[in-house]
């Protein structure tokens, strides 16, 4: 099979409600050539049929199916299947603007081989694709390990592109982690490679509703397990990582308030008080006004509306769609 300049890896599990929109945003990319590898991690809903429809329409899409092993294993399978020099990751419920791949490939292609990661900025979107909050546009480049220990500034699993050779050098995603495997991967990469930023908002990161009390417990456990080796190797950064834990609870509290789960928000403030009473008092005040700050930022940045409308997504490419003659 011919090599591609870029490979897109999308892990999915029971994503029928969202993965079609995600694939449409990928098919609208202005960059060529690229391939899309969708790893169906044992879906039991309508996902397989939906994926097949997209693959029938667009030859750039390949579907790989496996028994359910988790997102990290699905991403590793996608990397193993990838033929691209660069590998971009996209969660099955997030969206890209049309220039996302082009901007990341251009940054990496213009950099030396010590630069292994290009990342883009993200905005938050809801289940309808409406922008909730614009990106805060973090800008860290070069040696970023200190900054990345202080905060996962890449932010989500859909904002990064990595040289495949670097992924292989650090051993890919850790499948033993209960979550945060993307953050753990970027920490490993930051130990050995440099990062660059596209300085473009090109990712719509979707917030999925759910119980924030239960979700926070899982996220905290994942964060602690993902960062534990780095706290040992870099004790000078351990304080940064511990601050992340408190800020994670604060962020989950903000989400609970946004979704009108007031009981969850109160429980999370109580949990935060056990970690740091002073920070909990500050957070109780901050998360109350955060929705107002988000609305003000959204108005100031002129990002009201749907992600796809704001970024004027063009018509999806057919990517050498299968003709009746080819299929027969």
Please indicate, yes or no, if residue 319 is contained in any of the structural domains: no
Please indicate, yes or no, if residue 326 is contained in any of the structural domains: no
What range does the domain containing 38 cover? 4-208
Boundary of a domain, candidates 171, 190, 208: 208
pLDDT digits (tens, 9 = 90+) for 227-237: 999 999 999 99
Please indicate, yes or no, if residue 314 is contained in any of the structural domains: no
Please indicate, yes or no, if residue 171 is contained in any of the structural domains: yes
Lowest mean pLDDT among 231-240, 262-271, 318-327: 318-327
Please indicate, yes or no, if residue 327 is contained in any of the structural domains: no
pLDDT for the residue numbered 290: 75
pLDDT digits (tens, 9 = 90+) for 156-200: 999 999 999 999 999 999 999 988 999 999 999 999 999 999 999
Q: Is 65 left (phi over 0), alpha (psi -120 to 50) or beta?
A: beta
Examine the domain organization and report whether 54 and 18 are in the same domain: yes
């Amino acid at each position: 099979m011919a090599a591609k300049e870029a490979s897109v890896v999308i892990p999915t599990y029971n994503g029928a409600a969202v993965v079609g929109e995600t694939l449409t945003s990928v098919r609208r990319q202005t960059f060529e050539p690229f391939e899309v590898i969708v790893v169906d991690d044992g879906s039991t809903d309508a996902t397989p049929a939906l994926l097949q429809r997209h693959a029938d329409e667009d030859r750039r899409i390949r579907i790989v199916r496996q028994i359910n092993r988790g997102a990290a294993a699905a991403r590793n399978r996608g990397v193993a299947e990838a033929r691209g020099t660069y590998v971009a990751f996209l969660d099955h419920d997030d969206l890209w603007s049309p220039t996302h791949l082009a901007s990341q490939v251009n940054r990496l292609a213009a950099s030396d081989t010590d630069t292994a990661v290009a990342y883009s900025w993200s905005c938050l979107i809801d289940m309808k694709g409406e922008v909730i909050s614009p990106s805060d546009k973090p800008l860290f480049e070069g040696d970023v390990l200190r900054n990345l220990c202080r905060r996962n500034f890449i932010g989500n699993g859909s904002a990064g592109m990595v040289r495949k050779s670097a992924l292989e050098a650090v051993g890919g995603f850790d499948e033993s982690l209960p979550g945060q495997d993307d953050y753990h991967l970027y920490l490993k990469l930051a130990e050995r490679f440099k990062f660059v930023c596209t300085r473009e908002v090109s990712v719509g990161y979707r917030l999925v509703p759910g119980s924030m009390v239960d979700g926070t417990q899982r996220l905290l456990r994942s964060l602690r397990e993902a960062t534990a080796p780095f706290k040992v190797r870099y004790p000078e950064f351990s304080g940064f990582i511990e601050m992340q834990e408190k800020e994670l609870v604060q962020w989950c509290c903000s989400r609970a308030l946004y979704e009108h789960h007031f009981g969850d928000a109160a429980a999370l403030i109580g949990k935060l008080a056990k970690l740091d009473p002073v920070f909990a008092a500050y957070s109780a005040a901050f998360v109350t006004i955060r929705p107002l700050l988000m609305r003000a930022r959204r108005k100031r940045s002129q990002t009201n509306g749907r992600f796809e409308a704001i970024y004027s997504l063009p018509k999806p490419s057919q990517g050498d769609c299968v003709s009746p003659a080819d299929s027969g």
